[in-house]
Amino acid sequence: MTSVLVFGYCLVISLVVALGSVSAQPTRAFFVFGDSLVDSGNNDFLVTTARADAPPYGIDYPTHRPTGRFSNGLNIPDLISLELGLEPTLPYLSPLLVGEKLLIGANFASAGIGILNDTGIQFLNIIHIQKQLKLFHEYQERLSLHIGAEGTRNLVNRALVLITLGGNDFVNNYYLVPYSARSRQFSLPDYVRYLISEYRKVLRRLYDLGARRVLVTGTGPMGCVPAELATRSRTGDCDVELQRAASLFNPQLVQMLNGLNQELGADVFIAANAQRMHMDFVSNPRAYGFVTSKIACCGQGPYNGVGLCTPASNLCPNRDLYAFWDPFHPSEKASRIIVQQILRGTTEYMHPMNLSTIMAIDSKT
């Protein structure tokens, strides 16, 4: 069964304080790019199989209805917004994103995408990252009609931007099927180098579009999600090959970010150790209040990891006891743990500083 998006992932956050001249303007705009870990409903407006628009998705969301988020409740962007006192961003494709709502920011993320445009092609009509960046430019043109070009530039330059990419390029591309096109084209080390080079172009384009502080998290433990345990593990241990992919990708990502910072002459890009953040509760779930990090709350088959979460799936009664909501995505409680490390984690998790420190520094400029 094709995966819809992976728990392993790449997160990027670009930070800037929005101090615009419009009285209705919030203190910070927030922009979100990436895959299903951060999609707040754009795919609900698309003809695609990568959707979370049916129960029990959203069962613990305030409305108790599906919202397009691949979560039982709030997702990572929602939780960052809550921590920073921001209004949650709307999907860019939502007809509600008009007028003063544009000042809040926008969510461009689309489930199924990766760094490469051929990642996720099996999901048909999704918004690949290059298209997301084009929509970001379109957004700025729309906003300038309300606050002018200079006001728009200031808001974007001083906004918070979150981007999550990378895991799907392995699970929904290189390892999607045996002898995939990319696995025939590249050895794993060469593929990782190619991904890093392409991701660098994405980040540089994001910078060119206005991002000035960017938090980048590498892939999480891709081999440990219930979907991979169900299909690739006989013992319940994390899949060695996918874990190897993460161990190759993450250090090279950090190295690339350091190079970009040197080129730009500033600490624009901040590295987050997503593998460490996730492995804390994956390897010791009970220490974080979970009964399991192997079995998904919603799903079927071994580890509830086969197929998708649907109204016919097994459903756990208490989502807070499960690290994974569905075969690929963390529960809201697990996402809260991740966001706390992003905000307040030590240098073991965040280098050279965490999000709270960055924001405190930026508030003085």
Minimal CA–CA distance to 226: which of 334, 134, 132?
334
SS3 154: helix
14 tagged catalytic: no
Which is it for strands 11-14 and 160-164: parallel, antiparallel or unpaired? antiparallel
Q: Which of 39, 78, 169, 326 is catalytic?
A: 326
DSSP E strand boundaries for the chain: 11-14, 30-34, 105-107, 160-164, 214-217, 269-272, 298-299, 314-315, 350-351
36 tagged catalytic: yes
Counting Cα atoms < 13 Å in the Cβ hemisphere of 66 gives: 16
Between the alpha carbon of residue 287 and those of residues 189, 195, 236, 293, 321, the distances in Å are 35, 35, 19, 11, 11
**54 vs 310: CA distance, rounded Å:** 7
Residue type, 184: R
Minimal CA–CA distance to 67: which of 94, 85, 103, 48?
94
Q: Which of 35, 329, 331, 335 is catalytic?
A: 329
201 token code pair: 């172009």
Minimal CA–CA distance to 248: which of 169, 330, 335, 163?
169
Q: Are 329 and 70 in contact (CB under 8 A)?
A: yes
SS3 231: helix
Q: Which of 36, 94, 110, 233 is catalytic?
A: 36
329 tagged catalytic: yes
SS3 243: helix
Catalytic machinery residues = 36, 326, 329
